[in-house]
Every structure is written in C-alpha cells, then in structure tokens.
Amino acid sequence: MDTIEDLIKYSNENSYLEIKLIEYRGEIRGNLIKDVMALANSNYTGDRYIVIGVKKHAGDIELNEIESPEDSAGIQQYIHENIEPELEIKYEPFLFEGHKLALLTICNPTDQPYLAIKDISNKKAKLVSKHDCFIRKGTHQLRLSRSDLDRMYAKKYESTGLAGKLDLTFEDGAKSLEIPCVRDIQLPSLVEALEIQKELQLKDRMQGRELLERVDHYYSSGAPEDRYKSLSIPQLEERLSTVKMNYFSSDIHYMQELRSYKLNLKLKNNGEIFLEKGLVKLVIPITEYLIVVKTIPLNDHHQAVPSFAPIYDYPEVIYEKEEVIVTYEVGEVRHGLSKMVFKDALRIVPFEQLAGTGIKINAQIHAANLKVQQSFELSLTFV
C-alpha cells in the first residue's frame, strides 16, 4: 500500500481515506463518529485513515498546522462510547514535509457493521441518531443499504465464520455411544392379564355353583375389596378379552417413556460469532426392532386430567420410507459455549434383538448464518 505521504500527495478521498483541514472539536465533534463509522463500514480490507490538517482542491494541497493535537486517549474513549462494536483506534501527530499534522488510524476493522450507540447533537442540529449506520463509498458518505448488510454478513461468515468450527456430539462429548437394549418387558396389560387368569384359574378349581355363589356373596357384602375376586367368571373373561385395549395407553407409556433411552446431543460453537437460528437435523435409518418415539406419551393420570399434563418441548419426528427425520430448533448458540440440543431428550427404544449391532446417524447443523450445513456421523451400538 502507498505510504501516508503518498496518499496525501497523490490520492483523493476514497473508501479508506478521509482528509480534514481541522480537528474534530466543538460543534463538529459529532462528525468524528459519522466519519469513523463510515470508513469502518467501507468495502475495503485493511487500515483506514483520517488525515487532519490537509485540504486538497484541484490538485493543490493546503496545509493547516496542528500544533497541539488532541489527546489520543480522549479520542479513543469518545469513539468507544459512541460506536459499536468496539474499534481499535490510534490518534497521533504526523509530520508531512516539515508540517505538523494529525493522523487517525482505524486499525483493520473486521466486525462490520458498525453503528452509533446513541444520539449526538450540537446546538444547531442532530448529527447522528442512535443506531445510525453509515458507509463510505468513494468520496460519498451514505446510509447503509440492505445489500451492504448482506455483503458484510456474507464476508463475516466466510472469514471469521462457523465453517469447521461447530461440533455435534453425544452428551459426553463422544461421537459414539452404547445404549442398553430393552429386556424383561412387563407390559401393564400383560401384568393385568396374568392377574385375571390367576383369578379365573382359582375360581375354575372351586367345585359347585353353591360355593361360587357363597364366595361372590362374601365379596359383595363388605369383604375386603378386590377388583378381580369380586367378579364372576363371565365378568373376568370379558375383562381378559379387552385387557389389551384397556391398557393400550399404559403399555405405550411403559415402553416409550419408562423403558426408553433418553438421547441428547451437545452442540459446541468454537467460532468467533454467534450461531443464529440454529437447527439440528438427525437422519436415522429405519431399523427393525428400533422405535424412535414420535411424541412423549402421557401416563394414565395425565390422560385423565389433561390440565395437569406437562408441556414438553420435544423434537419433531417424521417417519419416511427408509429413514426417520428428527429436527429441533436450537436457536442461538454463543461463541465459545456448548448447548444441549434437545430440551426434552429424544426417546428411542431398542429391543434386545438388536444386541451386538449398531447404526450410523447423519447429524446436521443448519443456521441462518451458515452458508452450507455442517454434517457429522454419530454411531449407536446396542448392548
């Protein structure tokens, strides 16, 4: 790049150079914020400069000696109080052909867009409004446009972005996990059927209608309550024929909630910027003897009294022809931090027939500020 001397001699104002005849004092103090912000937002890579004590007109150079430049710390503090994100600023005397000038350097700003933190006014007018955002284009100072913002964010995500800086693992930080298979299944319907059958066998062994009638009379006239002993054989047989239907929801809750494995993932943002509007997608192959639970089933009490049922934030589960698609919006993930993916863990049920086998899961991260999805391979082994 040209030296500052060459810029003064041969260059006009442009996207990285501003020339001022006098310092930013008094009524024009607020213009410093506007000029620094515009240069910092310009489409240029590298340092930007404001040379103070110079005026150029039709090739002629007018110099104005800056005998006592303003204190550098004061300039830096004023800029830091009025522009965000923070800029690295240097303000120092500069000698040009024996003349004392001042040079303000904006050191390679890379965190665009930069904007005003608060209103700035002088006695005559408001110079800058809170959240104003200006950009330097050639010799013009303009308000930032939508296309300027799109360009800035695209550049930011390419240079300091998240490509290769995200990680998706299981809770323990590993990409492989052993899951115990479901064994010794005792469905509520089966437990109830065994109780009914036990009572039926007992009554079948009783000889004589008179004895049965005495037993029935005993239970119906104040004997200790027992829901099956007080029933007749036809009533018990009716109960037995409908037990699966009557306990269907209990069986589902038992298998898909009480006996399921609660699977969660951890997303780590190792980048320098937030992950915005993040979404995690899992592609799980459809596998015989493996259930990926669609919704968390309610127990009998919550089904009977829905107003007391918990409200779950469960991932969306969709069964397709050959795979199960699981998606969940993780939202914002701050840089340098980890976040559990699912608020309510994904329920999966591997039956014992899967013992000794495993599957591969294609895990993906999508985000508003991620140009291309990031993919990871996770492994489940069933034991």
pLDDT digits (tens, 9 = 90+) for 302-344: 776 777 777 889 999 999 999 999 999 999 998 888 999 999 9
DSSP character string of 272-322: SS-EEEEEEEEEEE--TTEEE-SSPPP-HHHHHSGGGSPPP-PPEEEE-SS
Cis upstream peptide for 113 (omega within 30°): yes
User: What are the beta bridge partners of residue 92?
Assistant: 103
pLDDT digits (tens, 9 = 90+) for 24-52: 998 899 999 999 999 999 999 899 999 99
pLDDT digits (tens, 9 = 90+) for 221-263: 444 346 677 788 888 889 899 999 989 999 999 999 999 999 9
Distance CA(218)–CA(225), nearest Å, equals 10
**pTM for the complete prediction?**
0.56
Which pLDDT belongs to residue 152? Answer: 85
What's the CA angle centered on 330, arms 328 and 334, to 5 degrees? 165
User: What are the beta bridge partners of residue 183?
Assistant: none
pLDDT digits (tens, 9 = 90+) for 188-204: 999 999 988 988 888 87
Query: Rounded mean pLDDT of 266-285?
Result: 91
Exposed, middle or buried by CB within 10 Å (0-12, 13-18, 19+), for 134?
buried
Which pLDDT belongs to residue 369? Answer: 82
| Residue 131 and residue 115 in contact, taking contact as beta carbons nearer than 8 Å | yes
pLDDT digits (tens, 9 = 90+) for 93-130: 999 999 999 999 999 998 899 999 999 988 888 889 99
Distance CA(82)–CA(78), nearest Å, equals 6
pLDDT above 90 for 300: no
Name all domains of the chain by residue range, CATH numbers in brackets: 4-159 (3.30.950), 166-183+258-382 (2.60.40.10), 188-246 (no CATH)
pLDDT above 80 for 219: no
Instruction: Kindly indicate the confidence band of residue 150, based on its pLDDT and cuts at 50, 70 and 90.
Output: confident
Distance CA(179)–CA(263), nearest Å, equals 9
Summary count for the chain: helices (H), strands (E): 9, 24
Reading phi first (left if > 0) and then psi (alpha if -120 to 50, else beta), residue 315 is in: beta
